[in-house]
Structure formats: C-alpha cells, structure tokens
Amino acid sequence: MKIYTKSGDQGKTSLLGGKRVSKADVRIHAYGTVDELNSYIGLLRDIDSFPARKDFLKHIQDSLFSIGAILAADPEGNINIIPSMEQTNIESLENEIDKIEESLPKMRNFVLPGGHTFVSYCHISRCVCRRAERWIIQLNEDQPVDEYVIQYMNRLSDYLFVLARKISQEVESEEIPWKPRG
C-alpha cells in the first residue's frame, strides 16, 4: 500500500465509513489535533526516565488513538470496529492525578510554564490537549460526541498539568508563581 493516494489533492478526505468531507471540517480539526497531542505525548515518553510513567504515557497514547478513531468515524455510517472509551479510562487518569498530587505542595497561585525543557513540553502538551478539547466540544455542538471522549480530554489536560508540576519537583526546578500586576 502506498502512503499517498492522491485522493486528498482537492482538499477532501474520507471519514471511516467512506464519507468525503473537507479537510477543514471541524471533525478533521478535532481528530487532527488529537493526533498532534499524541505526538507530543510520544515526545514526553521518549524524554521520561521512569518506566512506570512511560507505560502510563503509552496507555494514554493508546487511548488517544481510540479517540482519534471515534472522531474519524462517519456518525451516519455503520461501522462496528471502532474502539470505545469507558469510565475506566477516565478513572485511570484520575487515579494517576491523585497519586501525583499527594507528593506535591498545595498550589497557592497559578504557575508560569517552564523551568525545564521536560516541564515545558508537558505544558505544551496540556495546551494542545485543551485545543483538541475545544474542537471536540465544537463538533459536539453539531454532532454528538461520546461523553467519555469529552471527559477524558478534560481530565487528560489536568493530568498533564500535575505531571508538569511533578517533573518540576523531580528535576528541582523552581515553580514560579504568577503574580498579577496592578
């Protein structure tokens, strides 16, 4: 199978199920941004030196592929090979968040992103996750999206935030509190 098909040269692409849509369709933006996020999670996994956390990041990538497939499916098509998201996917993120937060100092202020390259990549991933979530919400306004997909993306951005804080702690990077001027 060749990587190029030339079928997208006119600005259209196919959803799972065969329906052709514009490459600027909100559905394409949604799953494209999930794909971008998945690449950043791969970068985090490559940088990380904790095997258990690498495994969890790989688990997140697997979930993001499932979300991408869900979003790429024609909602009017009859496709029964699409993976599903479940409450357990969300609970696994919540459990990891809770575990990480136990070892972190309480937040008193917003913190400025940065302090270490790895921490910055976590914050970039969090921002891409929020953008993907916004696209999914916009898609949901016109075509229903699985509620677990929306919840998962919301919780994933929370996880990426606490992961940034945890890594900041591990590399002994100072968390710089944001202090509004005025």
Percentage of the chain lying above the pLDDT 90 cut: 69
- Quickly state the pLDDT bin for 23 (edges 50, 70, 90): confident
Please tell me the predicted confidence (pLDDT) of residue 12: 82
Residue type, 13: T
Q: Is 44 helix (H, G, I), strand (E, B) or coil?
A: helix
C-alpha span between 71 and 155 (Å, rounded): 18
- Quickly state the pLDDT bin for 6 (edges 50, 70, 90): low
pLDDT digits (tens, 9 = 90+) for 47-71: 988 888 999 999 999 999 999 999 9
Please tell me the predicted confidence (pLDDT) of residue 1: 67
pLDDT digits (tens, 9 = 90+) for 94-119: 999 999 999 999 988 899 999 999 99
pLDDT digits (tens, 9 = 90+) for 137-163: 999 999 999 999 999 999 999 999 999
pLDDT digits (tens, 9 = 90+) for 79-88: 777 888 999 9
> According to CATH, what is the number of the domain 21-73+86-97+109-170?
1.20.1200.10
Cα–Cα distances in angstroms (integers) from residue 79 to residues 24, 75, 180, in the given order: 23, 9, 51
Cα–Cα distances in angstroms (integers) from residue 64 to residues 76, 127, 156, in the given order: 22, 15, 10
Whether 128 has a pLDDT exceeding 90, the answer reads yes
Q: Which residue has the tokens 């024609």?
A: 74
Taking Cα atoms as reference points, which of 85, 79, 73, 83 lies closest to residue 143? 73
Out of 3-7, 28-32, 156-160, 168-172, which region has the weakest mean confidence (pLDDT)? 3-7
Q: At what angle do helices 87-101 and 51-72 cross, to 10 degrees?
A: 150
From the centroid of its chain, how far is CA 22? 23
Taking Cα atoms as reference points, which of 175, 158, 137 lies closest to residue 60? 158
CB proximity list for 102: less than 8 A, separation 6 or greater: none
Task: Classify strands 20-22 and 12-14 as parallel, antiparallel or unpaired.
Answer: antiparallel
